[in-house]
Structure 1
């Protein structure tokens, strides 16, 4: 391993970085198959940028980091200058309010993240063999950029647990949150999964699936070239309906789905409910090497339990059929618990330029961590699985 200096550069567009150089750090495993997740690939981040879902006027200004040593890019990170805290799913609005109430300027801040994507994955992306050196260089470089520009803070959200541990050793503050994930216990089919549930939960799940599939049409699962441009026309209506109700304004532009059709459709599973030849509801998932990531849901008509079937049960079906280890169902939603999705911890890292504010946040995080740990323990005890099955997993 060389000990020559490492040069950190922030780039305003991912097009300034060759896809092969970025992906050699972001997803080296993809040389012999799928990436662990598609969200940090060059093609995904470029689709966000080309579609103007990020960039000028969005509050997500790209500053992609590269770490170069001996003429080779050894590490990269998806860094953004943020003008707000929207689209992050690990919320710091209270921190922003407290900082500005004390006379500070919280925004802009720096964010190492995948925009609009609450999915755990590596955020400090390194070539094999450069893991420790690359991550350290990226963190030092990002902190230096924040300090040199008098920015309030730096955040890395939905990082891996290993990155959270390493980042804490480098002086960053660790934070945990909670999501609901379904874990594949080597089930042979959906009936085998049902067999792991308590009798009452198993009966309720069968009832929900029967109600959903009686909506008067068919439910189809599409991937790759099975997804046609007209399917995106329908899905855009679903997405905007949900976005308008949840966020006021949808995060992604219509152009993102056009870009996704061109470069990402092999990474996606679209589940559509179709009645009289017209899609009336749908869910979009992304396919990783061992995980299915549930991302977007929307509908034009409301039918009993259709949401559960299209979003959760069809995702479980796909994961079982394709030997995937788990399904990540995205942010929030305790209703997922009854559908077999159990709470798990998520991780983030934080740096603050003001020492006093950092100390205050650190005290808050200790108390929050205890509360989240307790909540995960309590929620897990209310899961739908048979007691004997839970004991087997412990």
Structure 2
């Protein structure tokens, strides 16, 4: 008989990178050992952040067979699957919602594997261990955010509640060029994007897309200023530390696509993407000068350009934003899982999620119908 055990790892550096990535985690830039280690080593998660590493490691006969990036959370910030109303209701009823167990990639609303193992039995064991850890530690629940659709189905089978959400993704239908993509849009949308790009590119400088050794350490100085500006306006304070970007440069610059707008050689705006095997992931944007449409050019249009040039099937441009629809980014369903210790609260959330899923499905259908393509949205 094989022995399957699951343990909690309080810091990812305690496990060799080859063992973590060997489960398949290394195939996705966000679940790779190098990315999660950068978050911990830079102090972006850990003491004082409300994100306390509690990764789950499954071993089969002593060998690492599966992993799940997980954190003990004392708030709901940086998750992008919003449960603040649940927390308020739980605490009004006399319960303590925090801390909770969160299986997620911090600050990263990107779909990807969360129960990372080759065998479904190991994936199920990771889920069951999450519920067990939460129950034994007196936590309100355990949550898995931005998991895959297959993981969501598995979670339902072992007693987790599935939640549907929505993002906007661009799909590459084998386009030969940006103009080839534009040819699929309605005339009005096509003309609007061309004018938008012309206006953005005429801001008075140049735009460059950099990756690998093309990215210099001083580029991160500029991007840090952009990131602070955006973070200060959206979140109050940035989630990532300055050191994170230095570590990213040292260990992951080949995974990065940095799009910079420069005036007289000085960066004035930028967008950071991470490069996956089957998707380009837009993550952060910021600027020190306000130029009309430059945000759309750097974040959306240049990402499409790069994806077409490199045969990348999909661009995910982050959470929310119906303005992406007019630029060819179509609505796509995302998934999460939730286990709640209190039976009454579990039932109330289950009822809410059923009704929410219907609303999300209706909205995706309506937005898809409104898409910018000439003969309705392309299948993909």
Same fold by TM-score, threshold 0.5 exceeded? yes
Give the alignment of 1:114-129 within 5 angstroms: 114-126=105-117, 128=118
Give the secondary-structure state (helix, strand or coil) at the position aligned to 1:289: coil
Q: Is the 8 A contact 1:26 1:40 kept in 2?
A: no
Per the alignment, in what secondary structure is the counterpart of residue 364 of structure 2? helix
Which residue of structure 2 aligns with residue 314 of structure 1? 302
Aligned to 1:245: 233
Q: What residue number does 1:26 align with?
A: 24
> What residue in structure 2 maps to residue 297 of structure 1?
285
What is the distance in 2 between the residues matched to 1:317 and 1:213? 14
| 1:92 maps to which of 83, 86, 92 | 83
2:128/2:158 contact within 8 Å kept: no
C-alpha distance after superposition, 1:194-246 (max 9, x if no partner): 00000000000000000000000000000001000000000000000000000
1:393 aligns with 2:349: no
Is the 2:71–2:102 Cα contact (8 Å) retained in structure 1? yes
Q: Would you say 1:350 and 2:338 are equivalent positions?
A: yes
1:205 aligns with 2:203: no
Which residue, 305, 309, 328 being the options, matches 1:340?
Answer: 328
Q: Which runs of 5+ in 1 are unaligned?
A: none
Q: Does 2:203 correspond to 1:215?
A: yes
* Equivalent residue, structure 2, for 1:65: 56
**Segments of 4+ in structure 1 off by > 3 A?**
none
Structure 1 counterpart of 2:160, from 165, 169, 172: 172
Under a length normalisation based on structure 1, what TM-score does the superposition of the two structures give?
0.95
Give matches, 1:99-178, under 5 Å: 99-126=90-117, 128=118, 131-178=119-166
Question: Residue in 1 aligned with 2:5?
Answer: 7
Structure 2 partner of 1:195: 183
- Number of residue pairs matched by the alignment: 380
SS at structure 2 position matched to 1:241: helix
Shift of 1:26: 3.2
Distance 1:120 1:8 in 2: 24
SS at match of 2:174: coil
CA contact under 8 A between 1:84 and 1:108: conserved in structure 2?
Answer: yes
CA distance in 2 between partners of 1:79 and 1:194 (Å): 41
CA deviation string 1:227-278 (max 9, x = no partner): 0000000000000000000000100000100110000110010000000111
Residue 297 of structure 1, CA deviation: 0.3
Cα distance in 1 between the residues matched to 2:69 and 2:278: 22
How many Å separate the matches in 2 of 1:201 and 1:139?
Answer: 45
State the Cα deviation string for residues 46-87 of structure 1 (Å, max 9, x = none): 000000000010000001111111120111110100000000
Structure 1 stretch 217-226 or stretch 64-73: which is displaced more? 64-73
Per-residue Cα deviation, 1:80-125 (whole angstroms, up to 9, x for no partner): 0000000000000000000000000000000000000000000001
SS at structure 1 position matched to 2:336: strand
Partners of 2:223 and 2:114 in 1: CA distance:
29
* Cα-Cα RMSD: 1.0
Matches within 5 A, 1:37-52: 37-52=28-43
1:38 positional shift: 0.3
Q: CA deviation at 1:141?
A: 1.2
Distance between the aligned counterparts of 2:50 and 2:80, measured in 1?
15
Contact kept, 8 Å, 1:4 with 1:70, in 2: the verdict is yes
Give how far 1:5 is off. Answer: 2.5
Query: Residue 26 of structure 1 contacts residue 76 of structure 1 at CA under 8 Å; is this kept in 2?
Result: no
Which position in structure 1 is the counterpart of 2:47? 56
Q: Is the 8 A contact 2:4 2:60 kept in 1?
A: yes
Q: What displacement does 1:4 show?
A: 2.2
Residue 316 of structure 2: aligned partner: 328
Distance in 2, matches of 1:370 and 1:172, equals 18
**Contact kept in structure 1, 2:69 and 2:103, CA below 8 Å:** yes
